[in-house]
Amino acid sequence: MRILVIGASGMLGTDLQKEWTQDEIIPAGSRDADIRDAEQVRALVSRNRPDWIVLAAAYTDVDGSERNPELAFAVNGQGTENVARAAKEFGARLFYISTDYLYDGTSTRPYEPTDAIAPLNVYGQSKAAGEKAVHMYAQDWCIARTSWLFGAAGASFPEKILRAAETRPELTVVADQVGSPTFTRDLAGAMRDLVRGEARGVLNVTNAGSCSWFEFAQEVLRQAGRGAVRVSPITTAQAARLAKRPAYSVLSPASLHAQHITLRSWQDATKAYLQDLRACGKLV
């Protein structure tokens, strides 16, 4: 198969190229096409004629989306529509990456793909617009909702914690938001298997288990041998971030298990992530 990866230079896109070796991967970045420009997208798809398009490009700055909602919707909403329309026109199937921030966080159990969405922030609303565009304009598609991405190929929460720990004796981390950290290498492998398994519809794809940001930070530091750094829990209100965030956004793995795919625990994924950081010289 020919797989066009849009957003190939990002954290997930980089790991997709590493993990997906069984098919012909065609990497595309913003230099190849700005997804906000329908004609550029159409030309890209026409030129490459892929069997599948994986849309890994997105505007993911949650607080930045509050400051610039027009940009968030232009990329995540209109950009997705442009890709979905081009996919349909040229007979390509579409794989779209979505988010746990579609939910309002009031659930007392892990969210299923069939649960109603009610995003609290502009970022979540823009990704909801992207999902709607896939439903409306793509002919053959799969949506993977995922959460709390981290990987060695880009800046992510664990690396920020490790960098902060180098200069600060004490860190404060939010303890009242709970989700599922997801290693981009594991997500990439699952996406590959879903495409090769002809999966369709909306699925949840995260590493197994859940934790708070506070617990995630503690585990990262412990595994990195920096457990002496003190981490103190704070509330979302104390963090005073611009965008509202769901207090609970754990995604149920049932839909992924139904495709006979199971991902390792987020703790085991953290160990592999730290090994990757060391391999690329980002962690001693």
Contact between residue 126 and residue 76 where contact means Cβ atoms under 8 Å apart: yes
**Of these residues, 59, 96, 123, 248, which one is catalytic?**
123
Measured distance CA(250)–CA(100) in Å, rounded: 7
Measured distance CA(207)–CA(205) in Å, rounded: 7
145 φ, ψ (degrees, to nearest 5): -90, 130
Measured distance CA(111)–CA(100) in Å, rounded: 9
Contact between residue 142 and residue 195 where contact means Cβ atoms under 8 Å apart: yes
- Per the annotation, the verdict on 103 as an active-site residue is no
Measured distance CA(212)–CA(209) in Å, rounded: 11
Residues with a known catalytic role: 123
